[in-house]
Structure 1
Amino acid sequence: MRIIFLGTASCYPTAQRGVSCTAVRFEDGDVWIFDCGEGSQVQIQKSSIHPGHIKKIFITHLHGDHLFGLPGLMCTLGSQVQEKSAKLLLEIYGPFGLRRYLRESLNLSRSPLTFQYVVHELIPSKEAVTEEIKQWKIEEEATDLLHPQEKLGKQIITKAKTWHLFEDDKVKVEAGFLIHRVPTFGFVIKEKPTPGRLKTEILLEKGLKPGPLYGKFKKGESVTLSSGEIINPEDVVGDPKPGRTLTILGDTCDSSGMLHIAEGSDLLIHEATLEDSLKELALENMHSTPSMAVDFAKEIKAKKLILFHFSQRYRPLSEEEKNGSSISTILEDARSAIEKNNLNCNVDIACDFMEVDVKRPINI
């Protein structure tokens, strides 16, 4: 599992940094995109990602720096992968209103697509809809006029403060609610354990050569030999390899709604829009500081923390010599908070096109 940071700034893209867009590439080559701010399709073209491998897109909230690049990316996908796109069903997950936004954008611009797509909307719980959110008198329900390539998606409601999005034999994806100026979600990818190492030396001693029976053991099935001996999988398969847990948050000034699903994350990706000395301003705009991110990492016992979504007031590390605040201030604040809390948690700051491997946990 590899993370590719495509846009790590907030608000608007610049020549130095793109806005929110993060990719997760799995071992089978599939790519999932988390947020798609303005200019994300350009960032993807500059990266190691093949657009034809994008299978799912997750939107944390409907602010432009997380969303405005999505219609353009969808139009680009079909033109770049013509030979495969007819078979593609692009699955998109995001807050209530995302379906209407995409449907109107693509229909009004008469944008043809060479693949089908579906939007699954996360419906906020009643207590999550604040008075500030209610002040905007908008209609979030989508019209009945589907895009020609659109399939009708699900409306996902919360169960015990968890939105269950997707599950197959490899991973499960859940969402939790974050406190921000609009309904906002964080996403947790939970990889399922994989079978342990097959102890071939034992099987060879029993006269079993490599073949279809080996696969049965990996599937957890017992095998009866011609002699009548029964070999159980636990006798010839090592301990399961634990899966990885990845948590990616949207904008937030309070991440406590993720505590119950993000515990034990191997990697936490958390926003840190402003430095600690500007915490009051960060809270006023319902954002986080490095120390706030570290506090949440401590609560969920995260093994590694990467900060992103930086204000444009901070220059990238390569631009430090120029006028303006350096992004290193954010990292220094985070490291100080780690030391103060005596945490065994690695911390780093993201930069555009940085790639990070999420290692599998080691059995103890």
Structure 2
Amino acid sequence: MSLDLTFLGTGSAYPSPHRGASALVLRSEGECWLFDCGEGTQTQLMRSPLKASRITKIFISHLHGDHLFGLPGLLCTVSLNSSPTQPPSCVDIYGPQGLRRFLRVSLELSASQLLFPFAVHELEPTADQCPPEGLLNPLVTQSSEWLHPQERPGTTIQMDTQSDLYVLFEEKQFTVKAFRLYHRIPSFGFCVQEQERPGRLNAQLLNELGLKPGPQYGLLKAGQAVTLANGRIVRPCDVLDPPVPGRKVCIFGDCASLVGEGGIKACQGADVLVHEATLADEHRERALEHGHSTPSTAAGVALACKTHRLVLYHFSQRYKPLGLQKEGDEDDVLELKRQAEDALRGTDIEVIVSEDFLTLPIPIKKLQ
């Protein structure tokens, strides 16, 4: 099964001619999951090979505008371009408390009707995810029982105190969890864990047992035992190689640090860890003041998580994409990469600088 990440916007604060606002898509078998939706995301989608109509799930890390303002417009555009006879299925949207009310008010005041249903699932933040002034008044975040005409009831997800994580959902192919981050307002990261795959059937052993390719192969592959003509019972563990571990992708929202141990535990061994690096290390104090990270901060998280690849994103608009940099430019995006690599010297962790429209394939794991 193919799996890849496409970065639609890699800039912070606002969209510019050089970098779009925060947005990236995790694509699997044609289905697209959108992470953050800054202003202009729908235009970036149109410039990419992705199809907005394939978006079935949306994850919003926090309620700052450069991660959120594109969402109402994107939903409306998807609706306008949908076929009335074959509209998209229900779109599930996950994000912090307040997201439900934001969407309801935006769609209601603009008299926006959609051709498909949506449901908003809110994560309850904790008080230690931001400074006291960053906590929204409950009167602002609370939502009424009134639903938008196309809205389906969503869930309110609380943190599991034992794991220090939010379990968003678990399905046949993936389990998705969220973890807490520290920012100027409550922010979250997301861990997408692919389920492990059954190992390959040992064809030689099956042949020795007298089993030929056919329905019984399928039963064993599906985890069921089969009974041979001589009465012998063959169990999957007898003829299957060890299972193939699933891939893991972790995407961090804006943050100066993690809150609790849940994020580090959830992201252990991640194939790809996407982490913001808004400003270079020499601007660390300014980054912290605004609740952001530097390349060394991101590298420290990657090291603690023992990830394989660290992807830097959410750059200040002062850092131009590689193709637009000129000799003598004071702010060099490659310097951010060098700083992360210096912090990871002596490890096998690869550092990647994201750019708008970069697509990063995530290959299937192979057994050693």
Alignment TM class, shorter chain as reference: over 0.9
CA distance in 2, matches of 1:135, 1:59: 16
Measured at CA, do residues 84 and 333 of structure 1 come closer, stay the same or move farther in structure 2, by a change above 3 Å?
A: farther
Cα deviation, residue 136, structure 1: 6.1
Partner of 2:65: 64
Residue in structure 2 matched with residue 337 of structure 1 by the alignment: 343
Q: 2:200 aligns with which of 197, 209, 222?
A: 197
Letter paired with 1:346 = E
| Mapping for residues 148-167 of structure 1, pairs under 5 Å | 148-160=149-161, 161-167=164-170
* Distance change in 2, residues 1:233/1:84 (3 Å): farther
Choose the corresponding residue for 2:270, options 265, 274, 279: 265
| Cα contact 1:8–1:21 (8 A) shared by 2 | yes
Aligned to 1:21: 23
Segment drifting more, 33-42 vs 131-140: 131-140
Tell me which residue corresponds to 2:314: 309
Partner of 2:258: 255
**d(CA) in 1 for partners of 2:252, 2:221:** 35
Task: Indicate which of 348, 352, 358 corresponds to 1:348.
Answer: 352
Secondary structure class of the residue paired with 1:91: strand
Q: Which moved more, 1:140-149 or 1:290-299?
A: 140-149
2:5 pairs with one of 3, 22, 46: 3
Partner residue, 2:325: 320
User: Aligned pair in 2 of structure 1 residues 194, 84: CA closer, same or farther (>3 Å)?
Assistant: farther
Aligned length: 361
SS of structure 2 residue aligned to 1:213: helix
- Alignment partner for residue 359 of structure 1, among 348, 363, 366? 363
Deviations along 1:54-92, one digit per CA (max 9) or x if unpaired, are 110000000000000001110111222325753510000
Code of the residue aligned with 1:348 in structure 2: it is I
- Say if 1:213 and 1:137 are closer, same or farther in 2 by CA, change over 3 A: closer
Look up the SS of the partner of 1:325 in the other structure.
coil
Distance change >3 Å, CA 215–CA 135, structure 1 → 2? closer
Distance 1:185 1:236, change over 3 A: same
> CA 1:135/1:230 → structure 2, altered by over 3 Å: closer, same or farther?
closer
Question: In the TM superposition, what is the alpha-carbon distance from 1:302 to its structure 2 partner?
Answer: 0.9
**2:189 — aligned with what?**
186
Partner SS state of residue 315, structure 1? coil
**Equivalent residue in structure 2 for 1:208, among 207, 211, 228:** 211
Whole-angstrom distance in 2 between the partners of 1:198 and 1:311: 50
Q: What CA deviation, in whole Å up to 9, does each residue of 1:255-297 have, x standing for no partner? A: 2541121111111100000001100110111100000100111
Shift of 1:137: 7.9
**Paired residue for 1:230?**
233
Unaligned runs of 5+ in 2: none
Q: 1:244 to 1:232 in 2, by over 3 A?
A: same
Give the AA of the match of 2:362: V
Distance 1:117 1:351, change over 3 A: same
- What percent of counterpart residues are identical? 42
State how far apart, in whole Å, the 2-side matches of 1:10 and 1:120 are: 25
Task: Tell me the alpha carbon deviations over residues 220-273 of structure 1, each in whole angstroms, 9 at most, x when there is no partner.
Answer: 111002221222212222111001111100000012541121111111100000
Structure-1 separation of matches of 2:81 and 2:230: 58
1:201 positional shift: 3.5
Cα RMSD, aligned residues only: 1.7
| Distance change in 2, residues 1:188/1:134 (3 Å) | closer
Q: CA deviation at 1:338?
A: 1.6
Residue in structure 2 matched with residue 140 of structure 1 by the alignment: 141
Counterpart residue type for residue 201 of structure 2: L
TM-score, scaled relative to structure 1: 0.95
Q: Cα 1:108–1:133, aligned 2, differ >3 Å: closer, same or farther?
A: same
CA–CA distance in structure 1, aligned partners of residues 48 and 88 of structure 2: 24
The CA distance in 2 between the partners of 1:164 and 1:110, in whole Å, is 33
CA contact (8 A) 1:61 1:94 kept: yes
1:98 maps to 99
In structure 2, what is the Cα distance between the partners aligned to 1:127 and 1:5?
30
- The answer for the alignment partner of 1:297 in structure 2 is 302
Gaps of 5+ in 1: none
SS of the residue corresponding to residue 68 of structure 1 reads coil
1:198 deviation in Å?
Answer: 1.8
| Aligned residues of 1:51 and 1:80 also touching (Cα < 8 A) | no
Structure 1 pair 297–200 and aligned structure 2 pair: CA distance change class (3 A): same
